[in-house]
């Protein structure tokens, strides 16, 4: 008898399962809108020119393969924090931001979860929006936090249930942790407005909740890294202490390089040093120290004005292409007299759109039209391009008629 004979098989990953079904389909018209990775106007993966240049410099100047420190490449983490909090950020200027490199955004969330589970002085429950990125619940549960939910998405309006969100945060116990998508909410593509963020900041302060920002799409949402950082920077300017997970997967296209950062704002440099020491104690037994290559690439861009401005243009290019696909999809669906209101396709932001398509409709799209998306009707806008958007629009139109 094998040692593992009693191990039950677990459910497949809901997103990666879509890719498998797509790969098995032999129809030339097939479209994969499941995966959350950018594709160019020809449906191909895209390596940024700023990334290629930064990588070339590394290959010529940095051949050694020594270990990084536990918290990663110091110049990279400083530049990452500057990108997120902004140069004028008070805690940054005071040397009060504790920051560590992480295995992309997922690793940042996991370090944050583990740090909070060990050191957060209050009840260890974290509130997630409903719905949220599918990995949030297992990340925080496996970190040792109790996962709870607040209302976020309104099915009726395909918009933000702001009243429900406010009511649930008001009803949360004092000092609870609240996970906020800093911009480009995944999976809905729906963000609070600037006014709503300000209200949320006040409410979270009144209730003494602890905000944990997940910023996986800075720059990728609107095309501007500072506009996409508005919520985070506003909260910090209002005196909140925050936790922050950053990813360079989308905005630099560094998916497989696993490059990210986790940070906490602290009272002062002395407290920061204590927090830093404990971050190291959390990280060391997990993976000892992070991989170097992605951090060198990102740092090469963040620290060189010419590469930085090239990168800003490329992020904007990706964001703009997605925005243009939203406009085209909206217009085409209307031109085809597709039943329903599709304004949300245009108003949503970032890589994903919650179409409002039902599970049976998504199944019909896969079976009859070879169009693949997650069962909740989420599509990755980046999978659409000039060659497939008409076919996609016609297929959606047929599926809802």
CA geometry: angle 152, 104, 176, nearest 5 deg: 40
Query: Does position 104 bind ligand PMP by CB under 6 A?
Result: yes
Quote the least distance from Cβ 271 to ligand PMP, whole Å: 27
Binding mask 255-294 for ligand PMP (x = CB under 6 A): x----x----------------------------------
Give Dmax (Cα) for the chain.
63
250 is catalytic: yes
Quote the least distance from Cβ 92 to ligand PMP, whole Å: 22
Query: Does position 353 bind ligand PMP by CB under 6 A?
Result: no
Alpha carbons within 13 angstroms on the beta-carbon side of residue 329 total 29
Of the residues 32, 186, 218, 225, which one makes contact with ligand PMP according to CB under 6 A: 186
Quote the least distance from Cβ 190 to ligand PMP, whole Å: 13
- Kindly report each contact of residues 73-78 with a partner whose C-beta sits within 8 Å and lies 24 or more positions away, as own/partner: 73/101, 73/292, 73/295, 73/296, 73/299, 75/299, 75/303, 76/101, 76/261, 76/295, 76/296, 76/298, 76/299, 76/302, 77/101, 77/261, 77/263
Query: Does position 249 bind ligand PMP by CB under 6 A?
Result: yes
Query: Does position 110 bind ligand PMP by CB under 6 A?
Result: no
Query: Does position 232 bind ligand PMP by CB under 6 A?
Result: no
Query: Does position 179 bind ligand PMP by CB under 6 A?
Result: no
Query: Does position 129 bind ligand PMP by CB under 6 A?
Result: no
Quote the least distance from Cβ 165 to ligand PMP, whole Å: 17
133 is catalytic: yes
Write down the catalytic residue from 30, 124, 250, 328.
250
Six-digit token pair at 110? 């996991």
Query: Does position 35 bind ligand PMP by CB under 6 A?
Result: no
CB-nearer residue toward ligand PMP: 176 or 216: 216
CB-nearer residue toward ligand PMP: 85 or 255: 255
Query: Does position 147 bind ligand PMP by CB under 6 A?
Result: no
CB-nearer residue toward ligand PMP: 53 or 136: 136
Number of residues that bind ligand PMP (CB under 6 A): 13
Contact at 8 Å (CB) between 353 and 15? no
Query: Does position 32 bind ligand PMP by CB under 6 A?
Result: no
Contact region with ligand PMP (CB under 6 A), list: 102-110, 157-165, 220-228, 377-385: 102-110
Contact region with ligand PMP (CB under 6 A), list: 50-58, 100-108, 122-130, 234-242: 100-108
Write down the catalytic residue from 214, 228, 328, 342.
214
* β-sheet with 210-215: strand ranges across: 97-103, 259-265, 243-247, 210-215, 177-181, 125-130, 146-151
Query: Does position 113 bind ligand PMP by CB under 6 A?
Result: no
Query: Does position 214 bind ligand PMP by CB under 6 A?
Result: yes
Query: Does position 383 bind ligand PMP by CB under 6 A?
Result: no
Quote the least distance from Cβ 181 to ligand PMP, whole Å: 6
Query: Does position 133 bind ligand PMP by CB under 6 A?
Result: yes
Of the residues 71, 247, 355, 385, which one makes contact with ligand PMP according to CB under 6 A: 247
Measure Cα distances from 163 to 63, 151, 196, 384 in Å. 55, 9, 10, 33
CB-nearer residue toward ligand PMP: 148 or 207: 148
Contact region with ligand PMP (CB under 6 A), list: 103-111, 160-168, 339-347, 353-361: 103-111
Quote the least distance from Cβ 324 to ligand PMP, whole Å: 22
- Footprint of ligand PMP on this chain (CB under 6 A)? 36, 104-106, 133, 181, 186, 214, 216, 247, 249, 255, 260
């Amino acid at each position: 008898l094998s040692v593992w004979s009693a191990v039950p098989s677990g459910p497949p990953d809901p997103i990666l399962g879509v890719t498998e079904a797509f790969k098995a389909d032999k129809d030339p018209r097939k479209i994969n809108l499941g995966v959350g990775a950018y594709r160019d106007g020809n449906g191909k993966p895209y390596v940024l020119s700023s990334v290629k240049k930064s990588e070339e410099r590394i290959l010529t100047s940095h051949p050694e393969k020594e270990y990084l420190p536990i918290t990663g490449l110091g110049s990279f983490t400083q530049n990452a924090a500057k990108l997120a909090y902004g140069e004028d950020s008070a805690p940054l200027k005071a040397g009060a931001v504790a920051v560590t490199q992480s295995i992309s955004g997922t690793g940042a969330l996991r370090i944050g979860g583990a740090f909070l589970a060990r050191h957060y002085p209050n009840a260890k429950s974290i509130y997630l929006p409903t719905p949220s990125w599918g990995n949030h619940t297992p990340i925080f549960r496996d970190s040792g936090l109790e996962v709870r939910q607040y209302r976020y998405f309104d099915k009726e309006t395909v918009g933000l249930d702001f009243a429900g969100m406010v009511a649930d945060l008001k009803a949360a116990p004092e000092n609870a942790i609240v996970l906020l998508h800093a911009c480009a909410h995944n999976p809905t593509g729906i963000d609070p407005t600037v006014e709503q963020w300000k209200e949320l900041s006040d409410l979270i302060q009144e209730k003494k909740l602890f905000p944990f920002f997940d910023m996986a799409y800075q720059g990728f949402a609107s095309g501007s890294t500072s506009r996409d950082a508005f919520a985070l920077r506003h909260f910090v300017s209002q005196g909140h202490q925050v936790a922050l997970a950053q990813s360079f997967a989308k905005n630099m296209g560094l998916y497989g390089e696993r490059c990210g950062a986790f940070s906490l704002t602290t009272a002062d440099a002395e407290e920061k040093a204590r927090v830093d020491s404990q971050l190291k104690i959390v990280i060391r037994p997990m993976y000892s120290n992070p991989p170097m290559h992605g951090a060198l690439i990102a740092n090469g861009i963040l620290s060189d004005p010419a590469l930085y401005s090239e990168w800003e243009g490329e992020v904007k290019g990706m964001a703009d292409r997605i925005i243009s696909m939203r406009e085209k999809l909206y217009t085409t669906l209307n031109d085809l007299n597709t039943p329903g209101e599709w304004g949300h396709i245009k108003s949503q932001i970032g890589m994903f759109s919650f179409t409002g398509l039902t599970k049976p409709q998504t199944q019909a799209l896969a079976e009859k039209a070879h169009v693949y998306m997650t069962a909740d009707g989420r599509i990755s806008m980046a999978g659409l391009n000039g060659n497939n958007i008409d076919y996609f629009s016609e297929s959606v139109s047929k599926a809802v008629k």
